[in-house]
């Protein structure tokens, strides 16, 4: 699969944090599947955190405008999204299984995103650093 396909896949993955970030900011926790009203502290923290999720999606899209030059940005954001599986697993251990939509997110974070990072590294290898002049 080529570069263009990879860019399209990453652009589509970027839709998730953009839309869910906006929904989280505007709708709060009650807008989640199985969501409900929470106290003001949890509501404010949830909406605040979703600003970062929205920003991650926008940065992914920004990085794809110059995929070779901004490859590190793409990889860091994807890696952070993949690491999101860890707190989800902690939550499952502490509180039980979430709504199926979030099980799907966990599958994306554990399996799909790492594969996309691997594909990205293979497609946009790190440019060689020139030897310093002596």
Q: Are 24 and 53 in contact (CB under 8 A)?
A: yes
pTM of the predicted model over 0.75:
yes
Q: Are 67 and 25 in contact (CB under 8 A)?
A: no
Q: pLDDT by residue (tens digit) across 45-88?
A: 999 999 999 999 999 999 999 999 999 999 999 999 999 999 99
Domain boundary assignment for the chain: 3-123
């Amino acid at each position: 699969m080529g570069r263009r396909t990879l860019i399209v896949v990453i652009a589509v993955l970027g839709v998730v944090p953009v839309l869910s970030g906006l929904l989280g900011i505007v709708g709060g926790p009650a807008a989640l599947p199985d969501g409900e009203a929470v106290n003001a502290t949890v509501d404010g923290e949830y909406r605040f955190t979703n600003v970062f999720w929205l920003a991650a999606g926008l940065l992914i899209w920004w990085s794809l405008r110059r995929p070779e030059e901004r490859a590190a940005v793409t990889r860091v954001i994807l890696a952070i999204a993949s690491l999101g599986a860890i707190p989800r697993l902690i939550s499952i251990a502490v509180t039980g299984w979430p709504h199926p939509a979030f099980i799907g997110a966990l599958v994306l974070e554990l399996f799909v995103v790492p594969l996309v990072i691997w594909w990205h590294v293979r497609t946009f290898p790190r440019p060689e650093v020139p030897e310093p002049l002596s």
